[in-house]
Amino acid sequence: MSGILFLLLYKQLPISFIAITLCLGIVCYFYTEQRIPSASLEQNFTKITWTDTYRINGSTLRGFAIAENKDKWYVQLKLESEQQKRTFTEQSLAGLTMNILSEEIPNRPSSHMYAFDINNYLKSNGAVGQLQITQFEFVGFKKGLTTFMAGQRFKMMQHIQNHFPLSLQAEAEALLIGSREQMPSEMQNAYQTLGITHLFAISGLHVALIVWLIYETMIRLGVRRETANWLLLLALPLYALLAGGAPSVWRSVSVTEIVLISMFFQRKIAMEDAFSLSIIGFIFITPWIIFQIGFQLSYLAAFSLIYSSILLKSSTSYLLQSFIITAVCQLIVFSILLYHFYEISISSFLANLVFVPLFSFVILPINLLLLLLTFLLPSLAGSLLMLYQPVRSLLDVLILTLGQLPYQMWNPMKPESWIVLLAYISVVILFISVERRKNLFSSTVLFLFVIGCIQIAPYTDSSTKITFVNVGQGDCILIEMPFRKQVIMIDTGGLLRFDQESWKQANEPFEIGRQVVLPFLKGKGINTIDTLVITHADADHMEGAEEVLRGVRVKEIHITPGSAEKEVMEDLWAEIEKQHIPVYEKKAGDTILSDYFHFQYLYPMDEIYEGNNDSLVLSMTNNDFHGLFIGDLEEPGELDLINHYSQAIQHIDLLKIGHHGSKTSSNEQFLRLVQPRVAIIQAGFENRYGHPHPDVVERLENLGIPYLQTGTDGTVEVKININGDMSVSIP
């Protein structure tokens, strides 16, 4: 609202007009709040109809469905057999109606404040909650235009998969029908690093090219211009449905439709007015869409281009215009990218100059032509695809190579909301100064000042932070020294992998390091870990380390003696050797150098690796604080600590409970000795092992030791301020 007010004042519009506009904005805000769905506790329905937004991954079907009372739910169904999976994958599920028995999925704490938030995802899609289907029976298909078009989109996807080589399918599906499900994560990471992910979202340029091709084809076939416009008016919404109906597609289609309609009435509407009507229509019909990142980015980028026409017309050079377009779009969205994704691509300014015209005017037309030929002349299409595939593969190699170059991402930290607002104001002022060619120096200084504030924010905190990250059934602890002078990570979490039948295996396996730990580090703006401690060679403590090493710089790694030889360490060891990271075996008596605390390993005491009881145990002390992190140490190891360090570990401040609170750990004698002010249990939500064991919980409660569990309470942060006072919170 403040941004709109600033723009209205800049345009020097009448006060009465500004007042009316603000009043309408307030009314629309309350209208939107009332229209946003809220979860209903009552489940008095037995029938659901699937929408076209769903995904089958491994043995699980997830997607949105509409209940009898018109509420939208996010529904999960566990597939019981390969035949059942085949039944679901061989047809479009849009419009499929089922009678079901279900139970509402309880909310569990998110991994951390920077992790994927299922509640926000549901809210942005207009859903009221999650359901797990326990029983179902097919009823039939609900017919309608959207169902029909979803079926055609599904057939188009199958056609692409049947006629395009495997290496070209993901690109063709993304560019032609807006589906990016098949794109490998490695390529997605490279596109993100180069800042060209948007090329695979069907956008205004795609729609404009499609419209131009169809229009010119009709004109050359002898169709009258007025008739061609009417046909476009009817065909564009169908294309939007066929292309997946993403916000960027509907934005382009709706603006084009509004302009075409105005032409029919011989009252050609201004582009900014068509743009505004498009936003109003979107929010009126689906108010919750304002929470979708794609909607925000699409309209912001289009807004910046529409209102920067003077800048674009200031040069006739194609190269300079391309750079201005890239710069304008990047500047207007940079703060919201930081807010949602915590990093932005620096190389995107140059990469877009090359890849935008390449994809828009070469690769997209080639895919359109090849798709058309697969229908008309399949044999010719097959020959051309054989020629195109190796050339396109070379481009993939180039993109992957460029994506691996260092120092391409700016990752300060997730900015506060007020910083985002200040950043927008500074960008708008900068644009106005460039457009008017006045006060350019002062506006540039203001913009750079905001950038500087974002960059130095993490280095202004004088407190020490110890964060126990909720990585499910595993350990991951991050220690940040004051002013971010040193960062130590203890374990990285991970998953225990079990052999599964091939049909149950996920298309892209879930990775704790990539999908939980790295977003946490990026959200905090951590690009370097000084010391990574792998307490022992168990998957739930170190399987995520490989992805962490690929995402941030790690200066050195500490492991327990003998653990490097274990099979579970092979992939990690390969990545360590690739990056030439120094690795040191540590045992009792060894230290980690620090200006703020004394870090000393208390365990193990020998060099023979035997599992949990050879976990690295790290003591962290200064005059005001004592923390003890004991990995998966069990009762024999705890008794060794009592025998060798009985004086040193009495009445500590913070204890990381051993082995996730299993029955074989947390000996009563040990707990009585350490008597921590607070204990943290790193164990997953409703984990299969029953951790923490009821006996351990009972011991903690009987001894009056307060405790938190990451699986039920979420990520836990312990802060020690400059005066030595300790506080515990769940951020």
CATH number of the domain residue 648 falls in: 3.60.15.10
Shared domain check, 455 and 488: no
Shared domain check, 492 and 641: yes
In a domain, 190, yes or no: no
In a domain, 207, yes or no: yes
In a domain, 168, yes or no: no
| C-alpha–C-alpha distance, residues 369 and 372, integer Å | 5
| C-alpha–C-alpha distance, residues 539 and 512, integer Å | 11
| C-alpha–C-alpha distance, residues 112 and 118, integer Å | 12
- The letter for the amino acid at 522 is K
According to the model, what pLDDT value does residue 292 have? 86
Bridge-based pairing of strands 487-490 and 528-534 is parallel
Helices 271-285, 293-306: crossing angle, 10 deg rounding: 160
In a domain, 703, yes or no: yes
DSSP-based three-state secondary structure for 80: coil
- Chain centroid to Cα 428, Å, comes to 27
Shared domain check, 455 and 429: yes
User: Scanning the structure block, which residue is given the tokens 């020998």?
Assistant: 606
Q: Model-level pTM? A: 0.88
- CA-nearest of 207, 289, 300 to 254 is 207
Cβ proximity of 150 and 78 under 8 Å: no
| C-alpha–C-alpha distance, residues 364 and 435, integer Å | 33
Residue 261: phi, psi to the nearest 5?
-65, -40
- CA-nearest of 673, 393, 694 to 681 is 694
Report residue 549 as tokens: 């090493």
Q: Domain containing 212: what range?
A: 199-287
Shared domain check, 532 and 388: no
Average pLDDT along the chain, 731 residues, taken 10 residues at a time: 51 56 59 51 68 91 92 93 91 93 83 89 89 91 90 94 93 88 85 86 74 83 85 87 83 86 81 83 83 86 79 72 82 90 90 87 91 93 94 93 90 91 90 86 93 93 96 96 97 84 82 94 96 96 95 96 92 94 96 95 92 95 95 95 93 96 94 96 92 95 96 95 93 84
Shared domain check, 341 and 414: yes
- CA-nearest of 105, 233, 74, 91 to 157 is 91
Report residue 672 as tokens: 């009585």
According to the model, what pLDDT value does residue 210 have? 78
Cβ proximity of 535 and 616 under 8 Å: yes
- CA-nearest of 646, 389, 596, 52 to 381 is 389
Shared domain check, 357 and 395: yes
In a domain, 294, yes or no: no
Q: Which H or E run includes 239?
A: helix 225-242
Name the CA radius of gyration of the chain, rounded. 29
Cβ proximity of 620 and 599 under 8 Å: yes
Report residue 195 as tokens: 């800042």
Bridge-based pairing of strands 96-104 and 127-141 is antiparallel
Show the beta-strand stretches assigned E in 38-87. Answer: 47-57, 60-67, 72-78
Shared domain check, 651 and 553: yes
Shared domain check, 363 and 282: no
- Chain centroid to Cα 572, Å, comes to 24
Shared domain check, 66 and 27: no
According to the model, what pLDDT value does residue 393 have? 93
Here the contacts of 456-463 (C-beta below 8 Å, separation 24 or greater) are 457/412, 457/413, 457/415, 457/419, 457/525, 458/412, 458/413, 458/484, 458/524, 458/525, 458/526, 459/483, 459/484, 462/721, 462/722, 463/719, 463/720, 463/721, 463/722
Shared domain check, 576 and 664: yes
Shared domain check, 701 and 557: yes
| C-alpha–C-alpha distance, residues 461 and 327, integer Å | 32
In a domain, 90, yes or no: no
DSSP-based three-state secondary structure for 493: coil
Shared domain check, 661 and 530: yes
Cβ proximity of 597 and 622 under 8 Å: yes
Cβ proximity of 282 and 295 under 8 Å: yes
First and final C-alpha spacing in the chain: 28
According to the model, what pLDDT value does residue 41 have? 39
In a domain, 320, yes or no: yes
Number of domains in the chain: 6
Alpha-helix runs per DSSP H in 82-194: 82-89, 118-124, 145-163, 166-177, 185-194
In a domain, 178, yes or no: no
Cβ-Cβ contacts under 8 Å for 699 (sequence gap 6 or more): 666, 668, 671
